[in-house]
Amino acid sequence: MKKLLVATALLSTTLLSGCIVAVSDGEMRHYNSNWEETHKSNREKISNLTLGTEYKDVIKQFNTPDFTEAVSKDGHTYQVLYFATNSKHSDGKTTKDECTPLVFKDKKLIGFGQSAVDNYL
């Protein structure tokens, strides 16, 4: 009886023990490199922008902005599009201080960077 109990206990332990197999297709690595690639791509696109470019032509080059703002001032419409270009926080969230703003006046690019925001708005 004792041998049967020990054999049952050993068999139960073997059957009930689990095996964990971690399988990855690189998704986490892809996620991390994806935002890095997006930031790099945004920086490259911004560096090639020409002042005076139409809003619609600029928006075609980028994905959806991370933030947008618009204001009417002195009879003109100003739009600001913020694109992620530089990660400062490791929290997985994009904040405005990690973005480069593009400033438009009446649908034409008039500047980019924080100095453009400070100067025109």
Residue 18 lies in a domain: no
Q: Tens digit of pLDDT for each residue in 56-67?
A: 999 999 989 999
Pull the structure tokens for residue 86.
């530089």
User: Which 3 state secondary structure label does DSSP give 92?
Assistant: coil
Query: What does the angle CA 81 – CA 85 – CA 91 come to, to the nearest 5 degrees?
Result: 105
Q: Tens digit of pLDDT for each residue in 25-60?
A: 554 444 455 888 999 999 999 999 999 999 999 999
Residue 48 lies in a domain: yes
The domain tally of the chain equals: 1
Does the predicted TM-score (pTM) go above 0.85? no
- CATH code, 104: 3.30.1450.10
Asked which of 44-48, 57-61, 84-88, 113-117 is least confident by mean pLDDT, the reply is: 84-88
Residue 110: closest CA among 118, 96, 120: 120
pLDDT, mean over the chain = 83
Residue 73 lies in a domain: yes
DSSP summary character for residue 52 = T
Residue 8 lies in a domain: no
Residue 30 lies in a domain: yes
Whole domain around residue 82: which residue ranges?
26-120
Residue 15 lies in a domain: no
